[in-house]
């Protein structure tokens, strides 16, 4: 039996209420804000960011036959990935996000996939590249990330490549002390997230929120 991923609940809610703000979070740019996102501005942001990501990726070599995008959201990057790869598998946990992307992306090469938050619904060795940006930073734990990396290794063809955007940290001094402080802060965040998700499941007042996870460099190595 597959384990339910707790963080899916807020991303499904973002997809229902404000897909663009959920993907590109900026002060005042929610749909009721002073300067709400327009689809044109949203997708232009994706074009600009993708240009930077893809140029860096090409320096290290990338087979553009196909690409899996983990956490496609409303398609900010998907529209651009479709111009760079022969086939694109756009994966997300939010039905609302996927529906928004489908309505706004006109590319026959894109296949949208609804996921469960860890398992990738693709066959083994089925894609030449994997991309994800501004997604892994919202996971609850390193174990969640490790499970996803195992899935990435499973679906990539031999010699395939990935580009995964992650916030990282490294303590310059007193690593024991700073690690303890970080763990305490994360535990407080876990409790807050648990309480907010409990209210959401009960159908009570809902306030948009996102988790934040930083990755210690030794873990990645």
| Cα–Cα distance list, 65 to 61, 72, 130 (Å) | 13, 18, 11
Q: At CB < 8 A and 24+ separation, what contacts does 145-148 make?
A: 145/213, 145/215, 147/118, 148/70, 148/118, 148/120
Distance from C-alpha of 215 to C-alpha of 81, rounded to nearest angstrom: 26
pTM of the model: 0.91
Query: Across the chain, which distance is largest between two alpha carbons, in Å?
Result: 53
* Per-residue tens of pLDDT for the chain, all 221 residues: 355 788 899 999 999 999 999 999 999 999 999 999 999 999 999 999 999 999 999 999 999 999 999 999 999 999 999 999 999 999 999 999 999 999 999 999 999 999 999 999 999 999 999 999 999 999 999 999 999 999 999 999 999 999 999 999 988 888 888 889 989 999 999 998 888 888 888 877 656 788 889 999 999 88
pLDDT for residue 1: 35
Backbone phi, psi, residue 119, to 5°: -75, 135
Residue appearing with tokens 């240009």: 51
Tokens of 25: 């979070």
User: Domain locations in the chain?
Assistant: 8-166
Q: Span 8-166: which CATH code? A: 3.40.50.150
pLDDT for residue 208: 74
């Amino acid at each position: 039996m597959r384990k339910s991923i707790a963080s899916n609940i807020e991303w499904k809610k973002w997809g229902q209420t404000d897909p663009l703000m959920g993907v590109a979070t900026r002060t005042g740019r929610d749909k009721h804000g002073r300067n709400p996102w327009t689809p044109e501005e949203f997708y232009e942001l994706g074009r600009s960011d993708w240009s930077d990501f893809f140029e860096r990726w090409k320096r290290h070599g990338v087979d553009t036959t196909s690409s899996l995008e983990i956490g496609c959201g409303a398609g900010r990057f998907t529209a651009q990935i479709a111009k760079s790869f022969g086939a694109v598998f756009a994966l997300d946990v939010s039905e609302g996000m996927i529906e928004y992307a489908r309505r706004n992306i006109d590319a026959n090469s894109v296949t949208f996939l609804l996921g469960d938050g860890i398992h990738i619904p693709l066959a083994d060795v089925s894609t030449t590249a994997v991309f994800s940006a501004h997604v892994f930073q919202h996971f609850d734990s390193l174990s969640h990330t490790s499970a996803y990396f195992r899935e990435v290794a499973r679906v990539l063809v031999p010699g395939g490549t990935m580009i995964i955007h992650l916030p990282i940290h490294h303590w310059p001094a007193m690593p024991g002390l700073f690690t303890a402080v970080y763990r305490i802060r994360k535990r407080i965040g876990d409790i807050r997230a648990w309480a907010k998700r409990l209210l959401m499941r009960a159908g009570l007042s809902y306030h948009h929120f996102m988790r934040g996870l930083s990755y210690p460099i030794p873990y990645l190595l």
